Structure 1
Amino acid sequence: MTKLYSFPIVELHLHLYGAIRFETLLDLSRKRGLPMGNATTVAELKDLLVTDTPKNLAAVLRAFEIFLPVVKDDFEAIERVAYELCEDQAKEGVIYFEGRYSPHRLLNDDSPHTAREVVEAVTRGLRRGKADFGVDSRQILVMICGLPQYNWELLELVETCQELGVVGIDVAGSAKGADEKYEDSVVEVFQAAYKKGLHRTAHAGEAGGAREVVNALNEMHAERIGHGYRILRDEAAYRNHFLEERRAHLEACPYSSVMTGAVPPEWTEHPVRRWAEDGADFSISRDDPTCFDNSIESEMELAHTNIGLTIHQLWQAQLNAAKASFAEEPLKSEVIAKVKATEPAK
């Protein structure tokens, strides 16, 4: 089958430890003697981890509790995951991506290691991936709802690990709480990041509503919104913030949005279609391919065939992503130029 698109891909919303190969998880499980349920084959592991019918966000996130233990506190494994992700991205035509993760969730509670060591391991993998596969990448560090004890340390890491490729901060839900009712310290950390000039993206409008999106903009000074679909529940707020003032970029993950129950499974009514028609600033990503077994190509096919975006609109989403990336100069301008050079006919 002919590939749907011929332009380069820029992926902004990708959870690093939600993008681990199934084969790698099985290999690590065997080596460390840490079973993942009764799964011993890729097919069995997919049955255990992959969501393929609409649920809710908390239900989807429970998969992480099953497979993260085989990666935690293993810096060779963490480096391997980052390296293999670069190889997988290169095969899909990705030229730049931002991998987001909580370094603290990759450590056991009694770990003798530090979150910075996790960042260093990820950096080693991404740099080897760049050398071998030519894919540029950067890191976003994530605060996790329900783990406020790490929030201020995470801000320090974002500020001090820029030479390692860390370019921004995020906040996301977990199995302990996925309603986007973030702790006061989350808001305070975002406000501090804003004052320090650090880049900021926030999960909002996926499990929460339009109010949570507006709060992320007004209280947390978010430059990008992870998901954001439910902003359409407040037409005035949507038009004001995303069409008239164009205050933030929307990071869409179409397949995941239905699997997490963020939007109803009526594809032609999907928020991405409205955003494309309105000329809103949005991009398309995969979110957690380990949980959804999706690819860049499957997301593009879904957006084109089911949601109804044109090829040019798919390309525009890549240009939007390049412009909204947290990459530093001159890399950012180089990525933008590569996407611009491949504009398809309207």
Structure 2
Amino acid sequence: MTQAPAFDKPKVELHVHLDGAIRPETILYYGRKRGIALPADTVEELQTVIGMDKPLTLPGFLAKFSYYMPAIAGCREAIRRVAYEFLETKAKERVAYVEVRYSPHLLANAKVEPIFWNQAEGDLTPDEVVALVCQGLQEGESAFGIKARSILCCMRDQPRKSDGGLPSLPTWPDPPGPGLAEPGPSPAPHPDILSSLRAGPWDTSKSPELPRQNQNSLPACFSPASMLLPCQHASPQGAWATVTSSEQHSQGPARLQGPLRGAGVHFPCPRSGPGERYPARKLRPRAVKPLAPQSGRPRPWLESRSQRLAHSRFLSSNDITGYGYEVPALALGGDETIEGSSLFPGHVRAYEEAVRSGVHRTVHAGEVGSAEVVREAVDKLRTERVGHGYHTLEDEALYQRLRQADMHFEVCPWSSYLTGAWKPETEHAVIRFKNDKANYSLNTDDPLIFKSTLDTDYQMTKRDMGFTEEEFKRLNINAAKSSFLPEDEKQELLNLLHKAYGMPCSASAAGQHP
């Protein structure tokens, strides 16, 4: 019998890795399609090889990625599909908003050194990886009624990728409309970091449409007037997706199973009920917007903060891609046991530039490392959130300082057990966070490897740690307030959660944590 969810209400997830959340079926499909050997031939066998049932060291856990990433890395179609399917999975878990992180360099095979996963050199750059992930996420948003943002992740053992290696994006203009002035030139690249990769126009010949062989089997309840069909054009003017009735939503079910995915047709997804899912956004064009302000064209989605950042070649927090999609933040992840890795010059310079540019920041710290690693993340890298952070409790003064500063801890309970970050014979840090009414969230981290869902972490904390529904509500509201959304979108998310939780929206002032 299927277990009832521990918290069957809309949730917020802030710490999950895209490359650790791939479907085994997708890995097997692209392994076969691309002729890449995998350690297993069936889903069950693959899960046995790459999944974890017992704790390993953090380096041992990280080694799991080498088994399956060669099937995905370097493949445009696979990367876009992984991002799209990720949001389908999260929507089924009743996640209203998710921030997913990944390193574009781990998925690229050009303009990156070394090339990871023993790939041959190809032509997929980190810039294009970002564009593909953004496109897949945006299509997933529209299809599944979920809101998402992505975070670019630096790796502790690759400081050169941080120092000048994070991608800039192509700079196609908006398609001109009636009475709209042509955009001016793009700004000059930033002289030092976060801008060394200069991407040219999107090469549509390398991004094939999804298969369309099953279109005849679409359910009749989906009206053609509401369809969004994959499109490819050689010019930015032609890169608008075709929507014959952009405001019309089909009244059919909100699922895209089997033949729908195979058909490559994407539908605006109606919500299943008030407060059930975050309202789907209209797809914006697939051509890339310039980062420079455009004279003569109002841009209402820009706030004054991001307008001030518009000339930065770093990915600003509100308007950075031509897919109408946002990459709001920078993360540092990887093997925390590498001594001094938080202070490698490349990472420090990247975070200094992020601070100067007003870009949000989070750092994996205090998972298996000491409280000193957390201190470095806060004082040297000026992180706004701490990934994991369990060992902060080793330094009571530091913990009290961060708690008073309302620092958000991205807690991953099941992950902490399997990576050895938490020993079951000791009290988990999240219990202290709960008892102290600290600011934290519950997250999956790498559900593919941990063979888990978000409900796994909720069940664990409810069954073994005494968590209540009221605490689940509190921590999700705190997660929304600590998200890297712009303030207006953050308030929309808070209103949605309060309505779903039966709480007054007046209590949802952003920045005031319960």
Change (3 A) 1:263 1:126: same
Change (3 A) 1:344 1:58: farther
Partner of 2:21: 19
User: In the TM superposition, what is the alpha-carbon distance from 1:178 to its structure 2 partner?
Assistant: 5.0
- CA distances 1:219-277 after superposition (whole Å, capped 9, x unpaired): 111000000000011112111222x232x21000000011111111237x111111010
- CA distances 1:2-51 after superposition (whole Å, capped 9, x unpaired): 332232111100101110011111111111111222x0111111111112
Which residue identity lines up with residue 257 of structure 1 in the other structure?
Answer: S
User: In the TM superposition, what is the alpha-carbon distance from 1:181 to its structure 2 partner?
Assistant: 2.5
Output the CA distance in 1 between the equivalents of 2:314 and 2:442. Answer: 25
Tell me which of 201, 220, 242 is aligned to 2:362.
201
Partner of 2:488: 330
Partner of 1:259: 418
Does 1 or 2 have the higher relative contact order (CA < 8 Å, sep 6+)?
A: 1
User: In the TM superposition, what is the alpha-carbon distance from 1:85 to its structure 2 partner?
Assistant: 0.6
Partner of 1:104: 105
The secondary structure found in structure 2 opposite 1:201 is strand
Conserved in 1, the CA contact under 8 Å of 2:5 and 2:459? Answer: no
Output the CA distance in 2 between the equivalents of 1:180 and 1:53. Answer: 29
The secondary structure found in structure 2 opposite 1:121 is helix
Tell me which of 137, 140, 159 is aligned to 2:315.
159
Output the CA distance in 2 between the equivalents of 1:333 and 1:266. Answer: 40
Is it true that 1:220 corresponds to 2:381 in the alignment?
A: yes
Which residue identity lines up with residue 173 of structure 1 in the other structure?
Answer: G
Identity %: 37
Is it true that 1:304 corresponds to 2:465 in the alignment?
A: no
Conserved in 1, the CA contact under 8 Å of 2:314 and 2:357? Answer: no
User: In the TM superposition, what is the alpha-carbon distance from 1:59 to its structure 2 partner?
Assistant: 0.4
- CA distances 1:118-139 after superposition (whole Å, capped 9, x unpaired): 0110111111111111111001
Give the structure with the larger helix fraction.
1
The secondary structure found in structure 2 opposite 1:171 is strand
Which residue identity lines up with residue 6 of structure 1 in the other structure?
Answer: D
Tell me which of 109, 129, 141 is aligned to 2:152.
141
TM-score, normalising length: structure 2: 0.64
Q: Structure 1 unaligned runs (5+)?
A: none
Partner of 2:57: 56
Partner of 2:78: 77
Give the structure with the larger strand fraction.
1
Larger-Rg structure: 2
Change (3 A) 1:317 1:180: farther
Tell me which of 231, 237, 260 is aligned to 2:392.
231
Conserved in 2, the CA contact under 8 Å of 1:96 and 1:136? Answer: yes
Partner of 1:94: 95
Output the CA distance in 2 between the equivalents of 1:91 and 1:186. Answer: 36
Change (3 A) 1:91 1:179: farther
Output the CA distance in 2 between the equivalents of 1:254 and 1:287. Answer: 9
Tell me which of 264, 267, 270 is aligned to 2:428.
270
**Between Structure 1 and Structure 2, how many residues are aligned?**
340
Partner of 1:169: 330
User: In the TM superposition, what is the alpha-carbon distance from 1:174 to its structure 2 partner?
Assistant: 4.3
Change (3 A) 1:280 1:3: same
Conserved in 2, the CA contact under 8 Å of 1:57 and 1:260? Answer: yes
TM-score, normalising length: structure 1: 0.94
